Amino acid sequence: MATIVDTKVLAELIAAALLGGIGVTAIFGLVIYGSTRFADLRREGKVVGAAFFAVVAGLALAAFAGGVVMALLIMTDK
């Protein structure tokens, strides 16, 4: 089987899919978590806490956008 199947490539495929799928979900979860907490804390007048979660949401959103760009690069870079 190992002579027919390139196990190294298959392992890379599995690793890339796992990393991409779970990573994107976690990052987008942080976008939602950060933005929701930001809105809640700002409404309560807690400026410092709100600012912290705004930064968390912003960084996660930037990472999510980076993931989308990477996906587009994967599609075009063949």
Partner 1 sequence: MESDVILVIVVATALAFDFTNGFHDTANAVATSISTRALSPRAAVTLAALLNFAGAFISLEVAATVASGIVEANLVSTTIVFAGLVGAIAWNLATWYFGLPSSSSHALIGGVVGAAFAAEGAQAVKGDGLLEKVLIPALIAPVLALVVAAVAIVLAYRIVGRLRPGPVSRGYRLGQIVSASLFSLSHGTNDAQKTMGIIALALVAHGDLSASNPDPPTWVIVSAATAIALGTYVGGWRIIRTMGSRIIKMDPAQGFVAQGAGASVILAASHFGYPLSTTHVAAGGVMGAGAGKRLSAVRWGVAGNIVGAWVLTVPGSASVGALTFGITRVFGTGALGPLIVSISLLALLAAAFGRRISQGRTLTAEA
Binding site for partner 1 (CB under 8 A): 4-6, 9-10, 12-14, 16-22, 24-26, 28-33, 35-37, 39-40, 68, 71-72, 74-76, 78
Torsion angle in degrees (nearest 10) through CA of 5, 8, 12, 15: 90
Q: Which two tokens stand for residue 47?
A: 């400026």
Q: Which two tokens stand for residue 31?
A: 């976008």
Q: Closest approach of Cβ 44 to partner 1, in Å?
A: 13
Q: Closest approach of Cβ 77 to partner 1, in Å?
A: 8
Pairwise CA distance, residues 21 & 70, whole Å: 13
- Beta carbon nearer to partner 1, 9 or 48: 9
